[in-house]
Structure 1
Amino acid sequence: MRVFRGRAPSLERDRDASRRLLSVAADGESAVRVWTPHRQIAFGRRDVRLERYDRAREAARELGFHPVERDVGGRAVAYDGTTTLAFARAEPVADFRSGSTDRYERATAALERALRSLGLEPSRGEPDDSFCPGTHSLSVADASSGERRRRKLVGIAQRVRQDAALVAGIVLVANRGELAGVLEGVYDALAVGLDPASVGTVADAGGPADPDTVRTAVEDALIGEETGVSVESVEEEL
């Protein structure tokens, strides 16, 4: 397995680094990356088809987030550039028509282990009107909320090619106020329902606010019991 660490100096070069995971998997080797992407709003394919998409891109810019389009996932997600993590695991596939459910299950179980190691008790699913709604999400009870309501802090998606598959997602570590605010503005511009109170973070759930601590836990969980792990630095290679 190859593990990629760090962030490339520009947003586009950093996206190129993530695309390399599928190339590695297509050559027969699994790959993992967990990192802090540049500040951006990453719109999904469902967003791009909406009539108000251009308005939402402008709203993102006005809120100080660079708009981009992503290959994996459904609706917009926000990365603040400092505390929000992205994760990805790519692996070879022998038959692209099968295995999706197993890959989702392994990734979800890995994120559950990571969050538990940080002192949280995640549950599968998400509150109503969450950001990037989907079947594969994790929520936690917010320790800062007197009602102990559950908030979404992990979303997981998958992209499958004939020779490789990529399971990827987002973990919100801290900075809930800004992230909820920008997501509310962007979803409002798209005319898509979002409850900003459904946005959660590791820190607000009582876990660490340090993204490096969370990154290490997620990376370890995604690597699991793999042997022959080699580590490469994105900053040095790109």
Structure 2
Amino acid sequence: MTIIIFENPTPVVDVLQCHYPPNKMLAAFADTQAFMRLVQRTQRPLLHYWTLEQTVILGLRDRQLPQLSAGLQGLGQTGWHYFFRNAGGLGIPSDQGILNISLILPPNYQVTINQGYQMMTALLQAGFAAEKLALVPGEVATSYCPGTFDLSLGTQKVAGIAQRRSRGATAIMAYLGVNGDQPQRGELMRTFYQASGGQPPLFPAVDPQVMTTLAAFLPGLQVRQTLQMIQAGLQTQGTELDPLRFMDLLAEPEYQTYFNQAQQALIELNQPIQ
């Protein structure tokens, strides 16, 4: 069965890959906000791949944790960085074994929330179809950041999906566990929620054993290979990938203006928790 990602005939998708070191971790979401403005100019989708180094990305709901300061202190003691994103949901750890993927659609792509989730699901399913890995959607309640469109291999979650909408543009964002110590990531988040006083149903009772990585099924798999597989899945459907056009936009003042505005808002959001 063919998994349809874009219904438009032979769409062109811009492609961008970034790595954000700890001193630039807020730039990951400042870029997302800026890119949602720029796709209104390009009028075509952007596929943004990005990685972080040992950073927990916390959601706005996490700010409601009753002993949040204790949880944040525990993260710092383990050597993990953290910040709050300007979106709802819950925390996810991200390191160089996690590939973050943002599919950013301009306003001419009118998709419902459900259609947005389905597009990212189809994108990932198509990427691993050649390896006969069947990614199945469905909430894994005791994972960290559980959601209806969690993606699992067998009984274990490997990916989660979220969305953000602004000025008519839509960002569909996934985190994908490629390799690395997934039980350790799960234990990190279980300890964080325990220290922060988080209890179900608002916060998950994290079980580190319910999540895994793609490398558990494809030994030796690296992030770069994963990225190439996802792009190959797109190209099999006739999608043209352009790695150059969007890079040119990043040299223009318009991008810097949007980025600075978004980053300042994130800096204010991430003022120290008392």
Question: 2:59·2:85 contact (CA, 8 Å) conserved in 1?
Answer: yes
Q: Quick one: structure 1 residues 203 and 151, their matched pair in 2 at CA, closer, same or farther if it must change by over 3 Å?
A: same
Segments of structure 1 that go 5 or more residues without pairing to the other structure are: 142-149
Q: Which has the larger radius of gyration?
A: 2
Q: Tell me whether 1:181 sits opposite 2:187 in the alignment.
A: yes
How does 1:2-17 map onto structure 2 within 5 Å? 2-9=14-21, 10-17=24-31
What is the DSSP-based 3-state SS (H/G/I as helix, E as strand, rest coil) of the residue aligned with 1:87?
strand
What is the DSSP-based 3-state SS (H/G/I as helix, E as strand, rest coil) of the residue aligned with 2:216?
coil
Q: Quick one: structure 1 residues 95 and 204, their matched pair in 2 at CA, closer, same or farther if it must change by over 3 Å?
A: closer
What is the DSSP-based 3-state SS (H/G/I as helix, E as strand, rest coil) of the residue aligned with 1:203?
helix
Count of equivalent residues = 227
More helix by share: 2
Segments of structure 2 that go 5 or more residues without pairing to the other structure are: 1-12, 257-274
How does 1:71-90 map onto structure 2 within 5 Å? 71-72=86-87, 74-80=89-95, 82-90=96-104
Question: 1:31·1:91 contact (CA, 8 Å) conserved in 2?
Answer: yes
What amino acid is aligned across from residue 135 of structure 1 in structure 2?
T
What is the DSSP-based 3-state SS (H/G/I as helix, E as strand, rest coil) of the residue aligned with 1:127?
coil
CA deviation profile, 1:170-198 (whole Å, cap 9, x unmatched) = 00111223212212222222323111111
Q: Quick one: structure 1 residues 180 and 8, their matched pair in 2 at CA, closer, same or farther if it must change by over 3 Å?
A: closer
Q: Tell me whether 1:202 sits opposite 2:214 in the alignment.
A: yes
Identical amino acids, percent of aligned pairs: 20
TM-score computed with the length of structure 2 as normaliser: 0.73
Instruction: Tell me the C-alpha RMSD between the 2 structures.
Output: 2.7
The aligned counterpart of 2:75 is 60
Question: 1:35·1:215 contact (CA, 8 Å) conserved in 2?
Answer: no
Using the alignment, how far apart are the partners of 2:116 and 2:52 within structure 1?
Answer: 23
How does 1:17-166 map onto structure 2 within 5 Å? 17-27=31-41, 28-72=43-87, 74-80=89-95, 82-93=96-107, 99-141=112-154, 150-166=155-171
Q: Quick one: structure 1 residues 133 and 194, their matched pair in 2 at CA, closer, same or farther if it must change by over 3 Å?
A: same
TM-score computed with the length of structure 1 as normaliser: 0.83
The aligned counterpart of 1:218 is 230
Q: Quick one: structure 1 residues 116 and 17, their matched pair in 2 at CA, closer, same or farther if it must change by over 3 Å?
A: same
Q: Quick one: structure 1 residues 188 and 118, their matched pair in 2 at CA, closer, same or farther if it must change by over 3 Å?
A: farther
What amino acid is aligned across from residue 102 of structure 2 in structure 1?
A
Q: Quick one: structure 1 residues 127 and 116, their matched pair in 2 at CA, closer, same or farther if it must change by over 3 Å?
A: same
What is the DSSP-based 3-state SS (H/G/I as helix, E as strand, rest coil) of the residue aligned with 2:172?
strand
Question: 2:139·2:150 contact (CA, 8 Å) conserved in 1?
Answer: yes
